[in-house]
Amino acid sequence: MREIDIPPLWLAIAAAAIWGVARVWPVMLPGARPVGGALIALGLLLTAVAGGQMLWRRTSPIPRRVPRVMLDSGAFALSRNPIYLSDAIMLTGWMLWSGGIWGAPVVALFMLWITRRYILPEEAEIARRFGPAFDTYRAKVRRWL
């Protein structure tokens, strides 16, 4: 079960929930599709940049793996969790694009779940491993945005 308990699974579940809300209570706001599409594209770009940084520095983007290095520049200067941020941006974009405005609580619940399930344990491990350097970084860069 641990192998499939990964953030993309929860992202897919949240996206499906928003899609379901959009089918039951559709609300298409003027201009929502282009804005939603732009947010999805922005999220994909942020994921690519942050993932590329992690691969470049030879540290794993896979949760629960011990980080080899602490990243604090590029996308990681914007957010301590740029890939999770990009997931939330893409979900928001999907909500707008699909007409699932009433699915906004799903985005909030996704962020809460990801924070508790992945971010807090990851930050504890990074703090243990990198100590004062992480404390300094944490004081300068917000968890989400």
Residue 2 has pLDDT above 70, yes or no: no
Domain enclosing residue 64, as ranges: 34-140
The string of pLDDT tens digits covering residues 63-72 is 878 888 999 9
Which residue's entry shows tokens 């007409």?
Answer: 99
Task: Tell whether 44 is covered by a domain.
Answer: yes
In three-state secondary structure terms, 115 is helix
- Residue (of 78, 84, 109, 98) closest to 37 by Cα position: 98
> pLDDT value at position 64?
79
User: Domain total for the chain?
Assistant: 1
Task: Tell whether 24 is covered by a domain.
Answer: no
Task: Tell whether 9 is covered by a domain.
Answer: no
Task: Tell whether 62 is covered by a domain.
Answer: yes
The Cα-based distances of 39 to 16, 24, 83, 118, 132 in angstroms read: 17, 23, 14, 23, 35
> pLDDT value at position 14?
98
> pLDDT value at position 61?
86
More confident residue, 2 or 47: 47
* Average pLDDT of the residues of the chain: 95
Residue 1 has pLDDT above 80, yes or no: no
Average pLDDT (100-117) is: 97
* 36 neighbors 54 (Cβ within 8 angstroms): no
Q: Where are any strands of DSSP class E within the chain?
A: none
The string of pLDDT tens digits covering residues 45-99 is 999 999 999 999 999 888 878 888 999 999 999 999 999 999 999 999 999 999 9
- Residue (of 67, 43, 84) closest to 122 by Cα position: 67
Task: Tell whether 11 is covered by a domain.
Answer: no
Task: Tell whether 127 is covered by a domain.
Answer: yes
Task: Tell whether 94 is covered by a domain.
Answer: yes
